[in-house]
């Protein structure tokens, strides 16, 4: 073969190879639809961010409808670990964020408890959607409003979520959320000292039953007299907590761990999720709220005292989520925390 023909053939082969490579689906795919942003890793569903208003079941009040949160969240084997519109706490929307006890212009303002009709958090816009082989990212804007005067809502906080999912090679679904909250009102917002609020997670609706509620209620009464009483077994409680300090539900509540995990059976198979707090977060290590009987927790810096967001002030928070099958593996989660902490 003549040198020129050889070079031409080589060029065509390289061009074809590059064309084939570019035609492959990215490992981490972020796809926007009219209603949501869908994230998958290696062809498996990882999570759904809800742009559109999600309406509650017919037996619930419409006040519980909401947009701007993540549900479902999937384990590597496809189990749905998040829960939404739970009959006991319909305002706890899977993976969501809101403040509870705040003061705005001389009045209490609650963005969390929707039934009060004081505040709301909603999706506003999508600003970025990117897929990739190592990671995929999307960014969205949310608005926190005072709706005391429903005809004239007042914008109080604007929030930007940047969500990044990774192709890790580990038997886990891993994604980060960076939240940047800006006070856009003309008045300051005081986030009062309180035992919960902030970035939260509600686990599977299968993780609480009438029987588990009754058993946990009985346990709480007995534990008041017997502090060393062992925790109910998984079959009774339906879910368990484990923190980075090795604590379970009651010792873990109001503690300051690096991460919290929750897990339980979904359709008969154990699965769960851990939430890791970045060292750059406000008041790190942040206090946590672990509910005494429900499958819900949050990182809550207001546990350690009130703080104020003045007009133009920003609050930046970063969290990593590790979704797994089986029980939480502390060594793996410690490793994930170290990796997360190394990212500035």
- For the stretch 333-342, pLDDT in tens is 999 999 999 9
Confidence of residue 17 (pLDDT cuts 50, 70, 90): very low
106: left (phi over 0), alpha (psi -120 to 50) or beta: left
Q: Is residue 6 classed as helix, strand or coil in its secondary structure?
A: helix
Q: Does residue 6 surpass a pLDDT of 80?
A: no
Distance, in Å, from the CA atom of 20 to the CA atom of 98, rounded to the nearest integer, reads 45
Q: Which residue has the tokens 């609050």?
A: 315
Distance, in Å, from the CA atom of 228 to the CA atom of 108, rounded to the nearest integer, reads 39
What end-to-end distance do the CA atoms of the chain give, in Å? 54
Query: Token digits for 294?
Result: 């429900």
- For the stretch 167-204, pLDDT in tens is 998 899 999 999 999 999 999 999 999 999 999 999 99
Confidence of residue 16 (pLDDT cuts 50, 70, 90): very low
Burial class (CB in 10 A: 0-12, 13-18, 19+), 141: middle
Between vectors from CA 24 to CA 19 and to CA 27, what angle results, nearest 5°?
Answer: 145
Cβ atoms 124, 87 nearer than 8 A = no
Distance, in Å, from the CA atom of 211 to the CA atom of 143, rounded to the nearest integer, reads 38
Distance, in Å, from the CA atom of 256 to the CA atom of 141, rounded to the nearest integer, reads 29
Please list, in sequence order, all residues whose beta carbon lies within 8 angstroms of the beta carbon of residue 144, skipping any fewer than 6 positions away.
98, 99, 111, 119, 120, 121, 155, 156, 157, 158, 159, 181
Q: How far is CA 270 from the centre of its chain?
A: 19
Distance, in Å, from the CA atom of 122 to the CA atom of 153, rounded to the nearest integer, reads 12
- For the stretch 193-243, pLDDT in tens is 999 999 999 999 999 999 999 999 999 999 889 988 998 999 999 999 999
Q: Does residue 22 surpass a pLDDT of 90?
A: no
pLDDT at 140: 99
Distance, in Å, from the CA atom of 20 to the CA atom of 38, rounded to the nearest integer, reads 25
Domains located in the chain, CATH noted: 24-202+240-341 (2.70.98)
pLDDT at 217: 92
Cβ atoms 274, 324 nearer than 8 A = yes
Q: Does residue 91 surpass a pLDDT of 60?
A: yes
Cβ atoms 138, 128 nearer than 8 A = yes
Cβ atoms 215, 225 nearer than 8 A = no
Cβ atoms 114, 88 nearer than 8 A = no
pLDDT at 207: 98
Mean pLDDT of the chain: 94
The DSSP line for 151-166 is: TS-EEEEEEEEEEEEE
- For residue 298, what are the β-bridge partners? 200, 289
User: Is 0.85 surpassed by the pTM of this model?
Assistant: yes
Strand-pair category, 44-50 with 36-41 = antiparallel
- For the stretch 247-299, pLDDT in tens is 999 999 999 999 999 999 999 999 999 999 999 999 999 999 999 999 999 99
H or E stretch covering 146: strand 135-146
Query: Token digits for 285?
Result: 């290590």
- For the stretch 34-87, pLDDT in tens is 999 999 999 999 999 999 999 999 999 999 999 999 999 999 999 999 999 999
- For residue 323, what are the β-bridge partners? 173, 273
Please give the C-alpha separations between residue 127 and each of 32, 50, 130, 160, in angstroms, as whole numbers. Answer: 11, 14, 10, 9
Instruction: Provide the H-helix boundaries in the chain.
Output: 3-22, 210-225, 234-237, 249-252, 330-341
Side-chain half-sphere exposure of 327, counting CA atoms within 13 A = 8
């Amino acid at each position: 073969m003549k040198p020129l023909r050889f070079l031409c053939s080589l060029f065509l082969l390289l061009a074809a190879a590059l064309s084939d490579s570019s035609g492959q689906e990215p490992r981490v795919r972020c796809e926007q639809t009219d209603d949501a942003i869908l994230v998958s890793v290696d062809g498996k569903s990882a999570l759904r961010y809800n742009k559109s208003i999600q309406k509650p079941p017919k037996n619930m009040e419409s006040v519980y409808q909401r947009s701007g949160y993540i549900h479902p969240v999937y384990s590597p084997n496809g189990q749905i670990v998040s829960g939404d519109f739970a009959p006991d706490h319909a305002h706890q929307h899977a993976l969501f964020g809101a403040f509870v006890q705040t003061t705005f212009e001389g009045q209490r303002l609650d963005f969390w408890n929707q039934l009060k009709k004081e505040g709301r958090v909603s999706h506003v816009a999508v600003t970025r959607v990117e897929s990739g082989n190592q990671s995929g990212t999307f960014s969205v804007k949310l608005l926190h409003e005072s709706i005391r005067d429903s005809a004239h809502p007042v914008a109080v906080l604007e929030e930007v979520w940047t969500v990044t999912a990774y192709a890790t090679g580990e038997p886990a679904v891993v994604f980060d959320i960076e939240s940047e909250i800006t006070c856009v009102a003309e008045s300051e917002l005081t986030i009062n000292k309180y035992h919960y609020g902030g970035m939260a997670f509600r686990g599977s609706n299968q993780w609480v039953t009438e029987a588990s509620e009754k058993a946990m209620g009985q346990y709480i009464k007995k534990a008041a007299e017997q502090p060393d009483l062992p925790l109910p077994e998984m079959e009774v409680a339906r879910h368990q907590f484990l923190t980075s300090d090795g604590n379970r539900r009651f010792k873990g509540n109001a503690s300051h761990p690096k991460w919290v995990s929750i897990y339980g059976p979904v359709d008969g198979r154990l699965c769960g999720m851990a939430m890791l707090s970045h060292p750059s977060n406000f008041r790190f290590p942040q206090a946590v709220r672990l509910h005494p009987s429900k499958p819900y927790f949050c990182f809550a810096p207001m546990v350690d005292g009130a703080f104020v967001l003045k007009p133009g002030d920003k609050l930046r928070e970063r969290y990593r989520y590790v979704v797994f099958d089986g029980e939480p593996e502390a060594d793996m989660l410690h490793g994930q925390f170290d990796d997360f902490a190394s990212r500035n």
